[in-house]
Amino acid sequence: MLTLRSARFNKAVTVAVRGLASISFRDSYGAFIGGKEVFPKNGATFNVEDPATGKHLCKVASVNKDTVNQACLVAQEVYQSGKWSRSDVRERARVLNKIAVDLRANINDLAEMEVAQTGRAVREMKAQLGRLPEWFEYFAALIRTHEGTVPPFFGPYVNYVKRVPLGVCGLLTPWNHPLLIAIKKIAPAIACGNSIVLKPSELAPVSVLELAALCSRAGLPDGVLNVLPGLGPEAGQAICSNEFVRKVDLTGGTPTGRAVGAAAGANLAAVITELGGKAPMLIFEDADIDQAVNGAAFATFVASGQTCIMGARVLVHHSKYEVFMKKLTDKALRIRLGDPFDVTTQMGPVISGNSRKRISGLVDRAKKEGAHVFCGADIPSMQPPFDKGYYYAPTVLGVDTKMEIWREEVFGPVVVAIPFRDEAEAVRLANDSPFGLAAAIWTKDVMRAHRVADQMDVGIVWINDHHRNDPSSPWGGQKHSGVGRENGVSALHEYTQTRSVVVRTDDSKWDWFEQPNARYS
């Protein structure tokens, strides 16, 4: 049983975050179920900390399987009521547009909340969150303009095909872009009429809880969007195996993708997975080298390297290798680490002590395997209170393809470099990875740009750029980087299924058993 409380989220202030930030955290947060904040009866919580200082920010309810099952029932009941799932698309579009307006009005507060939970630099978070309303606006427009089909059915029939919602969708989201990734899934899912149970990462759940309350205030019916903070193996698995959940959409690591796919498969629920990456950046001899260095530094070090499509491997034509590596190293050494709330800070910490340990482990093993350290590869010394944070220096390594770090995702501010002799070798090296999420090609030769893009075993290619994303543009990977696509018409298809209606237009009498020549199909 849940102890339902009627309290809506508000800005009750208990823990002030330091520095320039105006945001504050409450002592504790519950789950958000059926439009209400809910504290599970067993009182289980986890702590959320500020990775820049290691300081405690707040406690958040940790839901168990029983609470997940009750939330799924709430989501299923509202879905079956038709209140949202069968509502007029104009009404759904109106609510999505209102969410976009309210989100825009709250961007600064939400961005600062994300800075406090993730340690990402405030400049980055404000720029990223400033675009989030576009996802609600895009999917509001898409459902208003999307049309069904009328396939050429045989005989005296009209066959019209509509897209209808799936039911309850389980969303599992990570900590690196807590709101961006949640919204990439929430906007299409609700636009299409589904109900949602969403488990945010235990490391950064609060902004997603605030978003759910904002959606509710904007008119999303209670129970359509439920947020269940908790642990992956318990709450996440319970979502995957709940009988009402018809689709699971995960952004996370590749091992999590396998666990989620197995549980959802056993439940006969469909799956979308956006997983890890090891994106190559191919720098050809005719590229604008200064711009390519700027682009590669942006690709690698933004978000402290904690993005799935980060520039993880830089492949440079041998004739430009030395000059490129010198410029990239100089640039990495100039990156300002510090208080993420300071607008002049260029890179914050990584998310946790465990994450930093994993990064150092991979880099230390690469050094033992003979990697050349151009810069970084250590824990920088920081002034208090940031000496307790999880900072790691921007790191550039020269490697070979036999090293572990060539293949493994680091998920930190580390790029590995290798020279190539010709285009064929560049393509072979770029595709030499278990992952296939994204790649960047730096060249001024338009024919080469498209020829090489065509040979990349990845879902996203940038030419002379990196990291660019739009609600209309399909997003997802090949190989171990996942299954399915976010964004665009692909997301509308992911969050709907077809219903085919076959209408007889000939009103002459027919009887299969009395007419030997009657047509069967």
Q: Which residues bind ligand NDP (CB under 6 A)?
A: 172-176, 181, 199, 201-202, 231-233, 236-237, 240, 250-253, 256, 259-260, 274-277, 307-308, 409, 411, 437, 477, 482
Whether 274 is catalytic: yes
Q: How far apart are CA 460 and CA 436, in angstroms?
A: 9
Q: Which of 36, 98, 185, 278 is catalytic?
A: 185
Catalytic pick among 72, 169, 192, 308 = 308
Would you say 247 and 270 are in contact if contact means Cβ atoms under 8 Å apart? yes
d(CA 518, CA 349): 73
Q: Is 308 a catalytic residue?
A: yes
Q: How far is the CB of 179 from ligand NDP (least distance, A)?
A: 12
The 3-class secondary structure across 438-490, one letter per residue, is: EEEEECCCHHHHHHHHCCCCCCEEEECCCCCCCCCCCECCEECCEECCECHHH
Sign of CA dihedral 466, 472, 478, 483: positive
Nearest to ligand NDP of 46, 160 (CB atom): 46
Active-site position among 49, 112, 202, 486:
486
Distance CA 352, CA 52 (A): 9
CB of 287 to ligand NDP, least distance (A): 26
Phi, psi (deg, nearest 5) at residue 485? -135, 140
Instruction: Say which residue the tokens 């989030």 belong to.
Output: 132
Burial 231-262 (b: 16+ CB within 10 A, else e): bbeebbbbbbbbebbbbbbbbbbbebbebbbe
Question: 93 vs 182, which CB is nearer to ligand NDP?
Answer: 182
State how beta strands 395-398 and 414-420 pair: parallel
What does the alpha-carbon distance between residue 69 and residue 72 come to, in Å, rounded to a whole number?
Answer: 5
Q: Smaller CB distance to ligand NDP: residue 51 or 419?
A: 51
Q: What are 365's two structure tokens?
A: 């093993």
What residues have CB less than 8 Å from 235, skipping those under 6 apart?
A: 62, 63, 64, 65, 67, 68, 199, 228, 229
Residue with Cβ nearer ligand NDP (221 or 477): 477
Q: Rounded to an integer, what distance in angstroms lies between the CA atom of residue 193 and that of residue 365?
A: 49
The SS3 call for residue 174 is: coil
Task: Give the gyration radius of the chain's Cα atoms.
Answer: 25
Minimum separation from the CB atom of position 404 to ligand NDP (A): 16
Min separation Cβ 199 and ligand NDP, Å: 5
Answer for the pair 225, 54: CB distance below 8 angstroms, yes or no: no
The least distance separating ligand NDP from the CB of residue 327, rounded to whole angstroms, comes to 27
Query: Which residue, 149 or 354, has its beta carbon nearer to ligand NDP?
Result: 354
Least distance (Å) between residue 36 CB and ligand NDP: 22
Is residue 185 annotated as part of the catalytic site, yes or no?
A: yes
Query: Cis omega before residue 385 (within 30°)?
Result: yes
Catalytic choice (137, 202, 274, 494): 274
Sign of the CA dihedral 508, 511, 512, 514? negative
Question: In the complex with ligand NDP, which residue's Cβ is closer, 259 or 289?
Answer: 259
Nearer to ligand NDP, 223 or 252 (CB): 252
- Least CB distance to ligand NDP at residue 280 (A): 15
Residue numbers annotated as active site? 185, 274, 308, 486
